[in-house]
């Protein structure tokens, strides 16, 4: 049995774990990264066709406008991104015996992809990590809190009973693994808090019950026929429910031509038709795009067959619109020694790669080494005081902005989620004004870089705004209870907890964007 002592153990080498490990290494912190699979990347999975074309069997897209972590990381790593092809007709099939319908519209809303596939992101991140920090084929089976440290037990090698074991003693542990998988595979001693267990049980694993198909071709014939490659099939015999252009670049003759699709069949149906799936996929593609669509190289991947992606609970309880970022999963446990990661724990972008990076940023801050703060210069102290004075008088104007926005929505006959939209508009308006104030103040940010991309001035400068959103929401709810106009809308007058949770999620996303933008301003001043 192998025994190891380390300051920080990160379990799970998907995007969250890799991004976190990169930061830990850059800081010089002592850590090890463990992964149950024999490869890095988790649900990011790429394959190459016989022609050498790279394609994604896991996540494919990111949205730069809505996902700043992904956009920033890809730019920082110098990876080549290109827009998802969306121009041309979109096909819709509602009846296998009827002619397909067509329309012209964009489907993917500004999505982009990476040249060489998302595996390029995994390769770029892992390139920063020395091999001695990585441990593949290490399946976590037990976590024990022994007081001064946590003891982790890993089954190594082929994963069979009796395989070699590794025992790791770590002062702090990050489990960057989907919560349901941890419940299924790991024994915790002492038992986890019941509220945490319930949160883990209620958090579906993204992609767990999905299957994806890709067909590569010598040319993108559908584009020549005026099709975008997008198609939606909504009948009971559908094999692929959503199809898209999966070409490996803006020019298919260079990057390679392909169509991709997500399986419409549930896991049980896929297992029943397993041997016939290739034929069924080819048949449906040819029905939509003509005979040439049947004559490609097919790649199929069913995530339900992956024990390190799909938990039994995911199969029993598939979720169409899962909710992520439960507060119990963003806290530390076992006396601050145990932390949870993975995209499912993110308050922003949960389930997406953006969520994995959002979770990694939270963990980077939680694991930051203690650092003696430098005394503020007289100039910076003066600027912080001026900003705090400005922030202190904004609460009244923010509530007035909410009331104005609410009145405008009522006047325009809007009736749905009035409080949610009006609060967010007011908050964003205030944050935008705050950013303009920061840009105008003459901070001296030289020498303030705490780590790559982060200024140590950011926390003290933005502190006056920290509880701004919470206070505004309290004032809004008080106003709503006394408003005659709102009394006609029971859901707004006395909102339920689920509605308030949605509002708080929006507010967190706005706060997060504000913090990143404020930090960018201070970094530019450096």
505-523 residue pLDDT tens: 788 888 888 988 998 898 8
User: Which tokens sit at 467?
Assistant: 């509880």
Q: What is the pLDDT of residue 318?
A: 63
Averaged over 112-140, what is the pLDDT? 96
Report the pLDDT averaged over residues 35-47: 96
Residue 320 has pLDDT above 80, yes or no: no
Q: Quick check: helix, strand or coil at residue 116?
A: coil
Of all helices (H) and strands (E), which one includes residue 508? helix 497-525
Q: Which H or E run contains 120?
A: helix 119-126
Are 344 and 177 contacting, i.e. CB atoms less than 8 angstroms apart? no
User: In this predicted model, what pLDDT tens digit does every residue of 271-304 receive, in sequence order?
Assistant: 999 899 999 999 999 999 999 999 999 999 999 9
Q: Is the pLDDT of residue 224 over 60?
A: yes
pLDDT, tens digit, for every residue of 429-478?
999 999 999 999 998 877 666 566 678 888 889 888 888 888 888 898 88
Work out the average pLDDT over 3-15.
96
Per-residue pLDDT at 207 exceeds 90:
yes
The more confidently predicted of residues 512 and 311 is 311
pLDDT of residue 30: 95
Supply the pLDDT for residue 498.
Answer: 77
Mean predicted lDDT score pLDDT of the chain: 90
pLDDT for 460: 87
**What does the block give as tokens for 119?**
């595996």
Token pair belonging to 371: 């650092």
Res. 161: pLDDT tops 70: no
What is the distance between the alpha carbons of residues 260 and 118, in angstroms, rounded to a whole number? 15
Length of the chain: 526
First to last CA, the chain: 50
Task: Determine which of 253-267, 366-380, 425-439, 460-474 has the lowest per-residue pLDDT on average.
Answer: 366-380
> DSSP labels for 141-204?
EEEEE-SSSEEEEEEETT--TT--EEEEEEEEEEE-S-HHHHHHH-EEESPPPHHHHHHHHTSP
Structure tokens that stand for 292 in this block: 């040439």
Which single residue is written with the structure tokens 């080819």? 282
Q: Give all domains of the chain, ordered by start, each with its CATH number.
A: 2-42+122-206+309-366 (3.50.50.60), 46-61+81-116+209-305 (3.90.660.10), 378-525 (no CATH)
- With 0-12 / 13-18 / 19 or more C-beta atoms within 10 angstroms meaning exposed / middle / buried, residue 162 is exposed
pLDDT of residue 373 exceeding 70: no
* CA distance linking residue 339 with residue 331, whole number of Å: 7
What is the rounded distance in angstroms from the CA atom of residue 387 to the CA atom of residue 463? 10
Q: What is the mean pLDDT of residues 142-162?
A: 83
* Residue 157 in tokens: 């090698």
Q: Which residue has the higher pLDDT, 203 or 511?
A: 203
| pLDDT number for residue 131 | 95
Least trusted range by pLDDT, from 140-144, 241-245, 284-288, 314-318: 314-318
Residue 30 makes CB contacts below 8 A (sequence gap 6+) with 6, 7, 8
pLDDT score, position 488:
79
In this model, does residue 159 exceed pLDDT 60?
Answer: no
* 497 or 141, which is more confident: 141
104 — pLDDT class (breaks 50, 70, 90): confident
Q: Is the pLDDT of residue 502 over 90?
A: no
State how far the Cα of 153 lies from the Cα of 119, in Å rounded to an integer. Answer: 29
* Position 118 confidence tier, pLDDT thresholds 50, 70, 90: very high
The yes-or-no verdict on residue 247 having pLDDT over 70 is: yes
Enumerate the β-bridge partners of residue 166: 2, 154
Helix (H) or strand (E) holding 27: helix 15-27
On the question of pLDDT at 317 being above 80, the answer is no
CA count, 13 A, side-chain hemisphere, 160: 2
Measured CA to CA, the distance from residue 208 to residue 477 in angstroms comes to 38
If one counts every other C-beta atom within 10 angstroms of the C-beta of residue 189, the result is 11
Share of the chain above pLDDT 70, in %: 96
What confidence score (pLDDT) does residue 374 get? 64
Whether the CB-CB separation of 302 and 175 falls below 8 Å is answered with no
For residue 10, CA distances in Å to 24, 35, 140, 321 come to: 10, 9, 11, 29
pLDDT attached to residue 347: 85
DSSP 230-272: EEEE-STT-SEEEEEE--SSS-HHHH-EEEEEEE-S-HHHHHH
φ, ψ dihedrals at 177, nearest 5°: -135, 140
Which residue stretches of 393-496 are H helix? 394-411, 418-440, 458-462, 468-482, 490-493
Which helix (H) or strand (E) segment is 353 a member of? helix 353-366
Q: How many whole angstroms separate alpha carbon 252 and alpha carbon 152?
A: 48
Q: Which two tokens stand for residue 362?
A: 């939270």
């Amino acid at each position: 049995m192998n025994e190891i002592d380390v300051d920080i153990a990160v379990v799970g080498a998907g995007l969250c774990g890799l991004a976190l490990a990169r930061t830990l290494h850059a800081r010089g912190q002592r850590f090890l990264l463990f992964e149950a699979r024999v490869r890095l990347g988790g649900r990011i999975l790429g394959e190459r066709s016989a022609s050498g074309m790279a394609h994604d069997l896991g996540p494919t897209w990111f949205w730069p406008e809505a996902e700043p972590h992904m956009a920033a990381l890809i730019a920082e790593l110098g990876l080549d991104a290109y827009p998802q092809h969306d121009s041309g007709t979109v096909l819709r099939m509602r009846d296998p015996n009827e002619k397909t319908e067509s329309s012209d519209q964009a489907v993917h809303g500004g999505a982009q992809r990476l040249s060489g596939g998302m595996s390029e992101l995994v390769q770029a991140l892992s390139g920063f990590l020395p091999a001695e920090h990585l441990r593949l084929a290490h399946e976590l089976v037990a976590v024990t809190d022994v007081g001064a440290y946590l003891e982790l037990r890993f089954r190594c090698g082929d994963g069979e009973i009796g395989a070699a074991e590794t025992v790791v003693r770590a002062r702090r542990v990050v489990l960057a693994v989907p919560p349901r998988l941890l419940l299924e595979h790991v024994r915790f001693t002492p038992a986890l808090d019941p509220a945490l267990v319930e949160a883990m049980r209620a958090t579906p694993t993204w992609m767990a019950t999905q299957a994806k198909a890709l067909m590569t071709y010598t040319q993108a014939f559908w584009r020549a026929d005026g099709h975008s490659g997008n198609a939606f099939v909504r009948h009971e015999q559908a094999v692929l429910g959503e199809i898209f252009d999966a070409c490996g670049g803006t020019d298919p003759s260079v990057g390679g031509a392909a169509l991709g699709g997500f399986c419409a069949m549930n896991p049980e149906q896929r297992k029943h038709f397993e041997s016939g799936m290739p034929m069924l996929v080819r048949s449906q593609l040819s029905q939509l795009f003509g005979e040439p669509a049947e004559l490609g190289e097919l790649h199929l991947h069913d995530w339900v067959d992956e024990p390190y992606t799909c938990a039994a609970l995911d199969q029993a309880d598939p979720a169409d619109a899962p909710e992520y970022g439960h507060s119990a999963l963003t806290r530390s446990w076992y006396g601050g020694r145990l932390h949870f990661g993975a995209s499912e724990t993110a308050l922003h972008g949960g389930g997406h790669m953006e969520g994995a990076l959002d979770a990694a940023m939270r963990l980077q801050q939680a694991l930051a080494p203690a650092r003696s703060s430098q005394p503020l210069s007289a100039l910076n102290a003066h600027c912080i005081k001026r900003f705090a004075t400005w922030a202190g008088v904004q609460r009244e104007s923010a509530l007035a902005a909410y009331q104005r926005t609410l009145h405008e929505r009522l006047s325009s006959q809007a009736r749905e989620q009035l409080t949610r939209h009006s609060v967010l508009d007011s908050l964003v308006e205030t944050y935008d004004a705050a950013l303009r104030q920061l840009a105008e103040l003459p901070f001296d940010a030289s020498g303030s870089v705490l780590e790559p991309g982060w200024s140590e001035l950011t926390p003290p400068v933005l502190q006056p705004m920290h509880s701004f959103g919470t206070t505004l929401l309290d004032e809004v709810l008080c106003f709503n209870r006394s408003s005659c106009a709102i009394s006609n809308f029971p859901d707004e007058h006395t909102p339920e907890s689920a509605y308030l949770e949605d509002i708080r999620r929006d507010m967190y996303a706005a706060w997060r964007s504000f913090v990143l933008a404020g930090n960018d301003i201070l970094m530019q001043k450096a």
